[in-house]
Structure 1
Amino acid sequence: MCLRNSPVSLSPRRTLWIAIVLFATSIYVYQCQNQVRLYLSHTVSWTMSMSRHEPLYFPAVTMCNQNAFRIVATAESGSYLWLDDMYRRSDISTFNYTKWDVGNTSMRDVFPQHAHLKEDMIMSFVGVKHGLQLVVNVEQYEYMEGPHSAVGLKLLLHRQGDVPLVNDFGDNVPTGMHTFVALSVSKETHLPPPHDECDASRKLRYYDQYTQAACYRECITDLVVATCHCRDHYMPPFDTGEHLAIIVASKLFHIIHQDCIKNRQKNSFESVLTIHSLHDRVCVIHFSFYNNYFMF
């Protein structure tokens, strides 16, 4: 029996499949080579889109005189001696209220009645480009003993309508200086639960809108009322109140980090102060707020 090789004929179907395999293999090799070359070139890809946003409005500017009481006002009301005696003490709890005839006096009435007035302090205010410029007289000749011993102002930039925690986050501004305040704003939008701890539906008793600062103030007030059955002059609601007792710092830490959660949307204002000297005879603080990205 004889065996011999016979040529295999290529059918059209087999030819088509061979062509498809060769074409796919060449495409695969080309793509691999292209990706390796792209990787080795370290090309950076980025996408930019232009969108029109609402204008950024100028933030609220809260200024507080470091001196709480004016000498002339306390002398006229007959409160100078007992206020001076109370705040000269290193421990205010040692103050003897029965030594002085203070009557039915509430600290909520004492602070507004004897405080510095903005009409007397602000000498002039004009806008520079999209900024704010103030000339402020701190009335240092009216200074007396009080809760603070510093001289000058405390300044805080915050969102309109928010509770200003000036004592906690304000910047100290000295007298006799020309102070420039550079502003930058950042907006944070947090995801709803369970992705984050924000709760836009949370309501407060003393404030119409929830913010972390308002929650902090309300929680501090509730803690003080529960501890000593009293309120400080700045605590809500503003219908009654006496001077407060000492609060345990650990409880305040718990309030900040546990009870008061973040806002769903938050605008943060960061201020950078640059201070220049003025003439020694100039007894004012000169502010220049400037930012081209704010509208006033």
Structure 2
Amino acid sequence: MATCCGDDSVEREYAAETSLHGVGKIAGARHRGVRLLWAVLFLGMFGVATWQITERFVAYFQFDTVTNMKVEFRDVLDFPTVTICNFNKYRDSQITEEEEQYVSTLLEGSTGFSDYDYDADYYDDDGDGEYQYSYDWNNTGIPDDFNLAEFTLRAGFDIHTSLKHCLWRGQTCNSDNFTHIFTSFGNCWMFNAEGRMNQTISGVGNGLQVAIDIQQDEYTENAPTGNLDAGIRFIVHSPSEPPKVDTQGISVGPGIHAYASISKIEFRNEIPPWGQCDPGRALQYYSGYTKTGCLLECRADHVADECGCRTVSMPGTLDYCQPAVVTGCVKTTIAELKTGKRSCNCPTPCSATAYPATLSYGGWPSSSTMDYFTDLLNKTEQEIKDNIVLLDVYYQQLNLQTVQQRRAISTNALLGDLGGQLGLFLGASVITIIEFLEFLVKKGTSCCFRHNNRVKT
């Protein structure tokens, strides 16, 4: 049974009418030399087009990206959240006689939770990350029902007694504009926690200015387990992102006027396979996905699974861990996270906002203004130098920088390249493809028709 047709009328019709350059010249040439020349040219152009198209596909499937930067000048910019902490976790005047017996133990128990805390005494000498620190909390006199969260809230850094001066855009503000949050520094306080404020004029005096009394005479931190510095530690961050004061914060000592000029940068990242962000990723205890929030939740989840509780600086709804659990189970779990025995899956966010700060400092107050500030703050000159930190946070310029990760070759660009190569070398287009499909249909129909006629005959 024959499976092909002897009639070439369909091919001749296609060659005469197709928009594919060169085919008509080959079919219609009267001289063999001319036909051969056009055939060589057509095959050469077809080969070049195939090579170029292959190159474009290879480049596309490498999933490369490019980074675009754009600066927009704005009349108004949303002001970030400013979180302020004191290096001193617990105030001496707020500690009872009974609690004084184990404050140093509490400070020692809190060491190791910050990402910058890495005490060699907690690990074995061969460096394999085995946790070997053990402290018998049962012999410290700490009651079994001791509530570390309530103790920290009562005895820790209190903005209501520490805030001596506050201005927002030149207008007076007060401690009611600050929101409490637990961190590895104990009590910290967030200005503009809900992100409702904005700055309309750039420069010093048009943002936030605060004078904080660190109350150095209240310090209970002792070497080597406590913080060795005196002053505040602050961080400027997005309202949707929890503050990571321990590793990202900025420190300022007393007797200094610190100027933090900030800028706003938005990052936009691509989804896989071009990037690493997961647009469907959500967090349980935070409104939006951030890498900092993810890491905090991951740490809390590991502690919750292993210990059945959480520390005061961890998100969640579980009860706070008792001191005996903190030094045993919790510290072991945190140590395993630091040494890589446990891991967290926290991909890059698809969008993120950063507020990098440029710091400059001035000696404060000057000798000519000392009398004014001693009267204003009701403190002696030495008390001001030992206890008062003056901080200005403001936008240096009202502009928004956008850093966007984009596909080096988008799908539209790939289609455009393919069409360009086919059109340049062969004169082909989508219509040409439709013409070829029409040719195949006609050819198949013609073959089937002739085959059926032969069978009937």
TM over 0.5: yes
Quick check: 1:87 aligned with 2:140? no
- Return the alpha-carbon distance in structure 1 between the equivalents of residues 349 and 105 of structure 2: 43
Deviation at 1:217, TM superposition (A): 0.3
Cα separation, 2, equivalents of 1:287 and 1:55 = 22
Q: Deviations over 1:40-78 (max 9, x none)?
A: xxxxxxxxx9978683211100011111001111127x3
Contact 2:308 2:318 in 1 (8 A): no
Sort the Cα spacing of 1:202 and 1:54 in 2 relative to 1 into closer, same or farther, 3 A.
farther
1:285 to 389, 405, 408: 389
Match of residue 75 from structure 1: 96
Correspondence 1:273 to 2:359: yes
Gaps of 5+ in 1: 1-48
Of 222, 229, 234, 2:313 maps to 234
The DSSP-based 3-state class of the residue aligned with 2:261 is: strand
Q: What is the Cα deviation at residue 87 of structure 1?
A: 3.3
Which string of whole-angstrom CA distances, capped at 9 and with x for unpartnered residues, describes residues 178-231 of structure 1? 111111221111123322111121122222321111101001112223344442
- Gaps in structure 2 of 5+ consecutive residues: 1-69, 110-120, 123-132, 171-204, 366-380, 400-457
Structure 2 Cα separation of the partners of residues 294 and 112 of structure 1: 37
The alignment status of 1:250 with 2:339, answered yes or no, reads yes
Residues 240 and 286 of structure 2 are in contact (CA less than 8 Å); yes or no, is this contact kept in structure 1? no
Q: Which residue of 1 aligns with 2:29?
A: none
Kindly state the Cα deviation for residue 253 of structure 1 after the two structures are TM-superposed.
8.6
Shift of 1:273: 1.5
1:26-105 matched pairs, under 5 angstroms: 55-75=76-96, 78-87=98-107, 93-105=134-146
User: What root-mean-square deviation, in Å, do the aligned CA atoms of Structure 1 and Structure 2 show?
Assistant: 2.8
Letter in 1 for 2:137: N
Counterpart-to-counterpart distance in 1, 2:212 and 2:71: 41
Given candidates 217, 226, 230, the residue that maps to 1:141 is 217
1:207 aligns with 2:207: no
Match of residue 155 from structure 1: 234
Give the counterpart letter for 1:290 in structure 2: Y
The equivalent residue for 1:220 is: 299
Residue 250 of structure 1 aligns with an amino acid whose one-letter code is T
- CA shift at 1:88, angstroms? 6.0
Alpha-carbon distance, 1:292 to partner: 4.7
Structure 1 residue matching 2:355: 3-state secondary structure = strand
Q: Which amino acid aligns with 2:107?
A: Y
TM-score by length of 2: 0.48
Distance in 2, matches of 1:294 and 1:236, equals 34
- Cα distance in 2 for residues equivalent to 1:210 and 1:81: 42
The answer (yes or no) to whether the contact 1:57–1:294 under 8 Å persists in 2 is: no
What letter matches 2:100 in structure 1? Y
Question: 1:96/1:156 Cα in 2 relative to 1: closer, same or farther (>3 Å)?
Answer: same
TM-score (norm 1): 0.73
Q: Which amino acid aligns with 1:143?
A: Y
Q: Match for 1:73: what amino acid?
A: Q
Give 1:107 deviation, angstroms.
2.2
After TM superposition, give the deviation of residue 265 of structure 1 in Å.
1.2
- Mapped partners of 2:207, 2:342: distance in 1: 36
Larger Rg: 2
Match of 1:187 in 2: 266
Q: SS in structure 2 opposite 1:205?
A: coil
| 8 Å contact from structure 1 (residues 221, 236) kept in 2 | yes
Contact residue 131 and residue 292 of structure 1 kept, 8 A: no
1:294 Cα offset (Å) = 5.1
TM-aligned CA deviation for residue 149 of structure 1: 2.9
Q: What fraction of aligned residue pairs are identical, expressed as a percent?
A: 21
